[in-house]
Amino acid sequence: MNLELDEDYQALSDTVREFADEVVAPVSAHHDETHTFPYEVIRQMGEMGLFGLPFPEEHGGMGGDYFALALALEQLGRVDQSVAITLEAGVSLGAMPVYRFGTQAQKEQWLPQLTSGQALAAFGLTEPGAGSDAGGTRTTARLEDGHWVINGSKEFITNSGTDITRLVTVTAVTGQREGRDGQMKPEISTILVPTDTPGFRAEKAYNKVGWNASDTHPLSFQDARVPEENLLGERGRGYANFLSILDEGRIAIAALATGAAQGCVEASVRYAKERQAFGRNIGSYQAIQFKIARMQTRVHTARLAYYAAAAKMLAGQPFKTEAAIAKLVAGEAAMDNARDATQVFGGYGFVNESLVARHYRDSKILEIGEGTTEVQLMLIARDLGL
């Protein structure tokens, strides 16, 4: 058992860390304060190949794997969660469904744009009454003259309204099917909707607590018509296919959260060595030392959890439970570390432009997005036979 990164993984991690420190971090406070999308940063990430990390070269990718993406997300998450989630959602929720379930024609049309970072795609799942509960989906799609006619709305959709967003994959009820219990249940399918489709609209962006430089909109569909061949994957398998995507995404979110927790440690160590109180650096006081030591312990545990989940995934073994554990542990580590880092910084930690303040606002969503803490606990308990 070797938990050290090999040379290629380490080189990637170091490269993204340098990019995060030198390019992302200097503009993070500005984009957070102004709630603006960091187009120039995203463009450079595309040129680096970050959006193509886990995709084969034949589709414009870098020929890497999902663990490579996770390492990049960890380094970006240290300094700017908004930038990190833009990459995570662009890959795991945007391009990955097309790669996993698309036809050859769909892959040829969309993947070169998405894996290069020249375009972004979003995944429209969540609705007012549907998210964790897919059975609550109210968006519908009916076949009419060789086209899907889509009506409904979605909520909290990342990367859905930028100037470079070109595609949204939408879950919709396309009929009824008999379930295992003999009862009729909604048939949920996924459909590709280009953003220039008449009847589709990204509504006004949310005014969020955190992730202020990440693009998030509600979406509306009013008789939005797309060709029948825009069905993604098998009809009626839309939600099931999404769940398999979500398992991978939880490893990615765990990596991002681990990076956020690490960023809080690094900022706290620097501040503890500089800040004077009662004639001494505050880092010389045991109360501060112990707080930061606990923070580092959380980072270490979270990193091991997502490494372990990724190892099983890359080995082709079942990893649903390990992904849930990683997402649970890392999300809580990010939130707990952000709270403790704010305490170390005192009043300066309550000023919005400080890194720890951004992490304090940003990290809560890591316990909610791509499966709440409660959903992870449910999955873990179910694996135990409960």
DSSP single-letter state for residue 346:
G
- 75, 17 contact by CB (below 8 A): yes
Which of helix, strand or coil describes residue 209? coil
User: Which residue's structure tokens are 């890497």?
Assistant: 64
Burial classification of residue 120, based on how many CB atoms lie within 10 Å of its CB (0-12 exposed, 13-18 middle, 19 or more buried): buried
**Region at 145 (left for phi over 0; alpha for psi -120 to 50; beta for the rest):** left
* Residue 370 appears among annotated catalytic residues: yes
DSSP single-letter state for residue 210:
S
Return the number of other C-beta atoms located less than 10 Å from residue 100's C-beta.
15
Looking at 155, 322, 367, 370, which residue is catalytic?
370
Phi, psi at 269, each rounded to 5°: -65, -45
| Token couple for 164 | 């470079």
- Considering just the CA atoms, what is the radius of gyration of the chain in Å? 21
C-alpha span between 317 and 205 (Å, rounded) = 39
C-alpha span between 355 and 349 (Å, rounded) = 8
Closest CA to 219 of 207, 202, 204, 206: 202
Q: Where are the beta strands (DSSP E) in 279-333?
A: 280-281
- 211, 81 contact by CB (below 8 A): yes
User: Which residue's structure tokens are 């979110």?
Assistant: 253
Which residues are catalytic, by number? 370
